[in-house]
Amino acid sequence: MSVEIHPTAIVSKKAELGLNVKVGPFSIIEDNVTIGDNTEISSNVKIKDFTTIGSNCRISEGAVIGGIPQHLGFKGEETYVHIGNNVIIREYVTIHRGTSFDDGITRVGDNTYLMAYVHIAHDCKVGHDTILANAVTLAGHVKIGNYVFIGGLTPIHQFCRIGDYAMVGGASAVDKDIPPFTRASKNHAMLYGLNLIGLKRRGFTSEQIKLLKEAYRILFRKSPTLEEGIKEIQEKLPVTPEIQKLIDFVRTSKRGIAPEASKRK
Please return the burial class of 263, using the count of CB atoms within 10 Å of its CB with bins 0-12, 13-18 and 19+.
exposed
Listed in sequence order, the DSSP H helices in 195-259 are 196-201, 206-216, 226-236, 241-251
123 is catalytic: yes
Cα separation, 198 vs 239, in Å, equals: 21
Residue 72: CB partners within 8 Å, gap ≥ 6? Answer: none
188 is catalytic: no
Which one of 123, 129, 175, 177 is the catalytic residue? 123
141 is catalytic: no
Give me the helix-helix angle, 241-251 and 206-216, nearest 10°: 30
* Phi, psi dihedrals of residue 56, rounded to the nearest 5°: 60, 35
Which one of 96, 122, 141, 157 is the catalytic residue? 122
Which one of 140, 193, 198, 229 is the catalytic residue? 140
* Phi, psi dihedrals of residue 179, rounded to the nearest 5°: -65, 160
Q: Which residues are known to be catalytic?
A: 122-123, 140
